[in-house]
Amino acid sequence: MTIGSASPPDGSAPVRGETEDSLFPAHIANLRPLNLLDRHIFKSALFASAAAVGLFAFVLTMGNVIRDLLGFVLAGQMAVSMAAKLVLLIVPAVLSYALPFGILTGVLLTLGRLSSDNEITAMRAAGISMARIARPVFLLGILGALLGLRVNFESMPWSRVEYHRDLAAAVRSNPISLIVPKTFTRSFPGYVLYVGSMKGAVLNDFWLWQLDGEGRAVRFLRAESAHVRYDEESNNLILIVEHARIETRNLKKPEDFSESPEVGIFEQSDPVPLSLDQFFGVASVQHKPEWLTYQQSRDEQIRLALLPQTPVTIKARTRLALIIQQKATLSVAAFSFAFVGVALGITVSRRETSANLGIAVALALGYYFLTVMVGWLEPHPEYRPDLLMWVPNLIFLFLGWRLMRRIERG
């Protein structure tokens, strides 16, 4: 005999529908299918978003590796173990952008598949509202926003400082290795170098172009050889050129080839300093406002507020406020993207990965372009670009709300 068929002690008829599952109150029992539905949607969106975040993070990381590290590794200037460590330190920085874009892609893929399989239609036919269907996705967006705040205000600043410190240490251990034979070296501001061969600190078949502020060559030097050494006190590579020929063009019009350059020949030049500050200068690690944690940013804001009102301090305050708000809005974008992704995924109703990925990339580029436009207002603090940085999120939230209302009415 089942519990549902048992008669009450008083002999009255059993309550209709009272089964083994009715050990729980009726309103709780009715929630069990919805809880299963929530878990199904949440797990599907979570796994799809995690895969998309990984894809975006991999692409962005490889771009940074190719730009910053690959040349050092191929030239033998950096150990593979150090390069691997630096790659790991790049990940938190790219995760700032990969996280919201990946959540958008995952939500589009999940809701697009559910809609194309008519699962959304079945849910709505059962009387489940769109807001109730989207609740697990909204939860995922909130969790993504909280994770984004942690990454943008803590993990990313720490990783950027550690990255540049480790890169500086790797370069400092052998700064002469920055000069690679048979390669045009553009690592030193204001100069372009070419070396035919290199033996220790001796550079043979040496070419040097000195550039002006607009990147135009104003002097050209070619020598049989040059000696290079590292001056730790000034953080410069010091070049001493021997048996050289130098050509100097008109400093005001270096591109005017109708005028013959001045030519000089000398046995040995004065020392030529090549700055290494961009690689391991102290200022390059400690004074970038983008690399400040939240508490450090607040302390810096207090310090700037106590300084006199000057154009320099106003610019610094605006810059710091803009960076703080940009980090915050990029974190909240995970929720904004999840919100609009629900409506778009159902509206488009496509299960094709390429189509949904294309929509996600288009929306992400639109969001990024809007933030760049707001950044253009940085020289005009009177327009409050720090507050305008929230406009892209508001636009996406409004777009998602309008689409959700249209679906509910549809």
Q: What is the mean pLDDT of residues 58-82?
A: 83
Q: What is the mean pLDDT of residues 354-369?
A: 82
Structure tokens at 240: 């001493």
Measuring CA to CA, how many Å separate 403 from each of 338, 360, 374, 397? 13, 16, 26, 10
pLDDT in tens, 254-269: 777 677 777 888 777 7
CA distance 42 to 54: 18
Q: Which pLDDT value is given to residue 246?
A: 85
Strand, coil or helix: what is 348? helix
Task: Enumerate the domain spans of the chain.
Answer: 24-178+277-410, 189-275
pTM, whole model, 2 decimals?
0.74
Residue type present at position 114: L
pLDDT in tens, 192-243: 889 988 887 888 888 988 888 787 888 888 888 888 888 877 778 888 888 8
β-pair partners for 236: 231, 275
Query: Whose CA is closest to 228, among 280, 158, 181, 278?
Result: 181
- Which of the four pLDDT bands, split at 50, 70 and 90, describes residue 327? very high
- Which of the four pLDDT bands, split at 50, 70 and 90, describes residue 272? confident
Q: Is the pLDDT of residue 303 over 90?
A: yes
Of the two residues 100 and 67, the one the predictor is more confident about is 100
Q: Which pLDDT value is given to residue 80?
A: 84
